[in-house]
Structure 1
Amino acid sequence: MSAPRSGVRRSAPAALAAVLTATAVAVGGCGMPELADLPLPGGAPSGPAYRVTVEFTDVLDLVPQAAVKVNDVTVGSVEEISLSGWTARARLRIDRAVRLPANATAAVRQTSLLGEKYVAVAAPVTESASGQLGEGAVIPLSRTKRSAEVEEVLAALGLLLNGGGLAQLKTINEELSKALEGRESTAKDALRQLDAFVGGLDRQRADLVRAVDALDRLTGRLSRQRAVLGDALAALDPGLGVLAAERDQLSDAVTALGELGRVGSRVVVESREDTVASLRALQPILDQLVRAGDALPKSLDFMLSYPFPPNVTGAIVGDFINMSLTADLDAATILANLFSAKPVAKPPPRSRSGSSGRNPSNPSGGGQRPGGTDDRPDGIGPLLPGVLPAICLPVGGLLPLDWLPPLLPECKLPPECKLLGPGSLLPLGGLLPPGGVVPPGTVFPPGTRLPLGTILTPGCLLPPPDGATNGRTGGLLDVLGGGLLE
C-alpha cells in the first residue's frame, strides 16, 4: 500500500484561495453595483397588496422591511413601526392573493437563535375562523404575542443555576419520594379521581359559567336594592329588640308548651281504653245517623211546622192559613198511593146469591173483603192493583229474560211490558234498573232481581200516582213530604 501524496492535502486551501482571488478580480473588473439596485433582506415580492395594522405590547428589535410570513412562507413585509401611547403599532403590507380570516392572530418570532425577527400571521387556534382580513384592518393586542428572547431564557437559566432553587427542588423531590413510597396505588387513585373531578368540571363548564352569571345578576340586583335592604333591616331592628326583651317569657312559654305536651301524652295514654270504648259505643248511633241520611234534618224542619209542611209559611196571612185540601180516604187508594201504584175503580158489589159464597167472576175462589179488593191467591192479604203478587214470580234467584207469567188473571202483564236483554238500545221512556234490582214504580214488586243490564220497556212502568192538592198531583208520600204545598 503506497503512502498518500502530500499534494492532495494542500489541494483544498489552494482551491479556496483561487476562488476568493477569482471573485476579487471579477468584482474589481465589473465594478460595484449601486446599493439601491440590491434587494433588501426579508422584503416581499412587489405587486398588489393590502395593509394591516398590528398592535404589540413589545416588538423587541423588529425593524421595517422585516418579513411577514404565513406558515413560514413570506407573503409581505413590515412597512412602518410606530408608537401609540404604550402600544407599538406595526403596519404590514401583505400580498393581495393571500386571504386571511378577520380574527387572525399575529406574533413576533425569530428565524433562528441569532436570526432576524419577523411577523407571523396565522388563523386563530382557540376559535373558528370568520370573515376576511382586508385593507385597513387592525389586529388588536388580544390577538398578538411575542416569543421569548434568548437573553430572557439565559437570564432565567442563570437565576436557576446560581442558587435559584435547585437545592430546594432536590429537597422537595426527596421528600415527595419518601411520602409516596409504598403509596403509589393510592396516589394514582387520587390522581384518577382528581382527573375525573376536573373532567366533570370541564363538562359542566357551561353550567358553571351560567351559575356565575346568575350570581352576578343577583348581586347586581341586590346592589341596586341596597337602600331597600337597608330600610328593611332598619325596620327589623325594633322587632328584634322586642324579641330580645321578651326572651325570658318566650323561653318560659316554650318550656311550658313542652310540659303541656308531656301531660297531654300521658292523658291520652291513660285514657286510651276509655276513649276506644266510647267510640265503639258511639258507632251504632253513627251508623243509624248515616242510614237516616237526609231524613233527620228534613224531619226536624217538618217538626217546626207540624202538622203542616215547612213551606206552609207562604200560605200564612196574618193569623189565617190559606189552604185547599182534597183527601181521598178510600183504603185501596191510600194503600195504592203508599206503594206507588195506580188507583183503580172499586169492584162491583159482592153477589149475595149462591150457597157457596163464591163470585162467578173470581175463578180463584178467594172471595172478597169488605174493602172491595180481591183476596190474594196465597191468602195472605189483598192484592194491590197493578202489582204482581210474589206467587207469580219464581222464588229466589234472578228473573230470566224469557220468563213468562203463569196463565192466571192476577199474573197478567201489560202487553207493552217486555224485558230487553243487556246491551239493547234503551227505548224512549224505558228504564235500566240500577244493579239489576227493580225500583218502585213498575209492574214488578220492588226488589225483583233481573240480569245485570236488563232494560224495562215503557209499558212496564206505572203511571204517576193520582191526587190533587191546590191543583198539583201527587201521592200521600208527597203530601207528607211537603212537596205539594207552597
Structure 2
Amino acid sequence: MTRRTLTVAAAALVALSAGLTGCGFGGVQDIPLPGGANLGAHPYTVKARFADVLDLVPQASVRVNDVAVGRVIGIALGSDGWSAVVTMKVNGKVRLPANAYAHLEQSSLLGEKYVQLSPPPSGEAPDGHLAGGATIPLSHTNRNPEVEEVFGALSMLLNGGGIQQLRTISTELNKALTGNEPQIRDMLTQVDTLVSDLDTHKQDITDALDGVNQLSDTLATRDQQIGTVLTGLSPGLKVLDEQRGSLVTMLQSLGTLSGVAVDTVDRSKDDMVADLRALAPTLQRLADAGKDLPDSLQVLLTYPFTDEVLHGVKGDYLNVYLDLTAAPGTQIVPTLLPDDSVFPGVGPPATPEAMNQQLKLPLPLPSVTTTRGGR
C-alpha cells in the first residue's frame, strides 16, 4: 500500500468521524449490527421495566416467536432506583396486544441476550394494541435463569449430600421392590382405580367440601347457642350416667317381657284362631243385617219417643191444643176488675154503676177458642 493510499484512507476515516460526530454518534454501540432486524420505514418505540436485565446490551435483538422484529436502543435505571427500563424499537408492521409480556432470554448456552415479546397467557384475553411510547409494567416481565445460577444450584445439590440421599432412597426402593413386583403392580393398579374414581367424582367431592364449609360457617355463627345446648346437656348426661344401671335393668326386663309375650302368643295361637273362626258366623250375620241394625238401634235408644213423635215434640215442651165452647146464655163472673190486659179495648169502668152494668152483659154468642201451652 502506497503513502497516497494511506492518506486517502485516513482522510476518509476523518470525514466519517466528523460526520458521525455531527449526527450525535455515541460510540460503537450505536452502529447497527449486521444481519439485524429490519425496522421498516415507520418503527415505533416501546419500553419495558425489568427487575434485572443481567448483561443485556444495546443493539440486542427484540423477537416475537423467535423472529427478529426490532432491537434494543437503550437501557437506563428506573425512576424507583431499583428497576431497569429497556427502550426498544419495533417494526411498525408488528402489532402487539396492550397487555403483552416481555421475557429476557438467551439464544444459546453462551449466546447473546435478547428480549422476547409474547401475547398474554391463554387465561388472559388480549387488550387492544400496544401503542408507541407504551411501557410494559414490571408485572409482565421476567427473565430465564442464568447458567451460573443453574450450576450454583447443582453445586449445592452435589456438595450438600443430595446425591448421597438420592442413592440411599434408590437403594431402599430396590430392597423394598425386589421380590414384591406382583404386589406392587397390583397396588399401582388399585391406586390408578382410586385416582380414576376420585377424578370421576371430583364435582361431588367439591360439593361436599362446599357443604362442609357452609356448615362450618353456620356453626361459627351459632357458637353461643351450641355452647348453651352443650352446657344444658351436661346435667342430663350426668343423670343418665347415674341411672345407667336402672336403664340396663329396664332393658333387660323388657327383653324378658318380650320373650314372655312371644311365648304366650305362641301357646294361645290355636285358641285365638279357634275363637276367630267361631266369631266368623256372628260377624257374617251382622254384615247381612246391613242397614236394619242401625235403624233398630235408633228406635231402641229413643223408646217410647221414637222418630214419629218428633212432629209433636219441639224442644223440651209438649204442645196441647184445647177447644172450649161456652153454651148460649152462660155468664162469667170474674173475681178481678177487667182491664186492658184481659179485655183489650174495654178498659176499667169509671163508676160502680158502670161496673155493674158491664158485669150484666151476656157473653157473645159465637164460640170462643182459646189456645194455651203448658209444660
* Both structures adopt the same fold (TM-score exceeding 0.5): yes
Match of 1:165 in 2: 162
Distance in 2, matches of 1:138 and 1:209, equals 38
Q: Which amino acid aligns with 2:318?
A: F
Distance in 1, matches of 2:248 and 2:8, equals 116
Q: Which amino acid aligns with 2:159?
A: N
Counterparts of 1:91-102 in structure 2 under 5 Å?
94-101=90-97
Distance in 2, matches of 1:138 and 1:76, equals 16
Deviation at residue 109 of structure 1 after TM alignment: 0.9
Assess if the C-alpha contact under 8 Å between 1:63 and 1:81 holds in 2.
no
Count residues in correspondence.
296
Distance in 2, matches of 1:85 and 1:300, equals 113
Q: Secondary structure at the match of 2:184?
A: helix
Matched, 1:75 2:69: yes
Q: Which amino acid aligns with 1:265?
A: G
Deviation at residue 230 of structure 1 after TM alignment: 1.9
Distance in 2, matches of 1:237 and 1:160, equals 58
Assess if the C-alpha contact under 8 Å between 2:98 and 2:128 holds in 1.
yes
Distance in 1, matches of 2:319 and 2:81, equals 113
Deviation at residue 233 of structure 1 after TM alignment: 1.5
Deviation at residue 304 of structure 1 after TM alignment: 1.0
Counterparts of 1:244-323 in structure 2 under 5 Å?
244-282=238-276, 283-284=279-280, 285-293=282-290, 295-306=292-303, 309-310=306-307, 313=310, 315-317=312-314, 318=316, 320=318
Q: Which amino acid aligns with 1:160?
A: L
Match of 2:144 in 1: 147
Matched, 1:49 2:44: yes
Q: Which amino acid aligns with 2:130?
A: G
Distance in 2, matches of 1:76 and 1:264, equals 97
Deviation at residue 60 of structure 1 after TM alignment: 3.5
Assess if the C-alpha contact under 8 Å between 2:47 and 2:88 holds in 1.
yes
Q: Secondary structure at the match of 2:62?
A: strand
**Structure 1 pair 76–183 and aligned structure 2 pair: CA distance change class (3 A):** same
Q: Which amino acid aligns with 1:30?
A: A
Deviation at residue 73 of structure 1 after TM alignment: 1.4
Q: Which amino acid aligns with 2:263?
A: V
Assess if the C-alpha contact under 8 Å between 1:104 and 1:129 holds in 2.
no
In the alignment, structure 2 segments of 5+ residues that lack a partner are 321-375
Assess if the C-alpha contact under 8 Å between 1:101 and 1:130 holds in 2.
yes
Assess if the C-alpha contact under 8 Å between 2:48 and 2:141 holds in 1.
no
Q: Secondary structure at the match of 2:78?
A: strand
Match of 2:228 in 1: 234
**Structure 1 pair 145–266 and aligned structure 2 pair: CA distance change class (3 A):** farther
Q: Over residues 18-51 of structure 1, what are the superposed CA-to-partner deviations in whole Å (9 max), with x where a residue is unaligned?
A: 9xxxxx9996463164345943557872624364
Assess if the C-alpha contact under 8 Å between 2:62 and 2:68 holds in 1.
yes
RMSD: 4.2
Match of 1:481 in 2: none
**Structure 1 pair 62–277 and aligned structure 2 pair: CA distance change class (3 A):** farther
Q: Which amino acid aligns with 1:320?
A: L
**Structure 1 pair 200–321 and aligned structure 2 pair: CA distance change class (3 A):** same
Q: Percent identical across equivalent pairs?
A: 35
Q: Over residues 204-260 of structure 1, what are the superposed CA-to-partner deviations in whole Å (9 max), with x where a residue is unaligned?
A: 55555555455445444544x1xx322332243133223313422255134313312
**Structure 1 pair 260–221 and aligned structure 2 pair: CA distance change class (3 A):** closer
**Structure 1 pair 252–190 and aligned structure 2 pair: CA distance change class (3 A):** same
Counterparts of 1:312-391 in structure 2 under 5 Å?
313=310, 315-317=312-314, 318=316, 320=318
Q: Secondary structure at the match of 2:39?
A: coil
Q: Which amino acid aligns with 2:62?
A: V
Q: Secondary structure at the match of 2:268?
A: helix
**Structure 1 pair 304–119 and aligned structure 2 pair: CA distance change class (3 A):** same
Distance in 2, matches of 1:311 and 1:93, equals 122
**Structure 1 pair 59–214 and aligned structure 2 pair: CA distance change class (3 A):** farther
Distance in 1, matches of 2:313 and 2:253, equals 61
Is the helix fraction higher in 1 or 2?
Answer: 2
Distance in 1, matches of 2:211 and 2:135, equals 36
Assess if the C-alpha contact under 8 Å between 1:106 and 1:139 holds in 2.
no
**Structure 1 pair 204–126 and aligned structure 2 pair: CA distance change class (3 A):** farther
Aligned structure 1 segments of 4 or more residues deviating by more than 6 angstroms: 24-27, 85-89
Among residues 1, 15, 31, which one is paired with 1:39 in the alignment? 31
**Structure 1 pair 215–255 and aligned structure 2 pair: CA distance change class (3 A):** same
Q: Over residues 129-149 of structure 1, what are the superposed CA-to-partner deviations in whole Å (9 max), with x where a residue is unaligned?
A: 5444433475663x6542111
More RCO (CA 8 Å, sep 6+):
2
Q: Which amino acid aligns with 1:49?
A: Y
Among residues 30, 38, 41, which one is paired with 2:12 in the alignment? 30
In the alignment, structure 1 segments of 5+ residues that lack a partner are 1-17, 19-23, 323-486
Distance in 2, matches of 1:315 and 1:276, equals 56
Distance in 2, matches of 1:130 and 1:195, equals 39
Matched, 1:108 2:104: yes
Match of 2:344 in 1: none
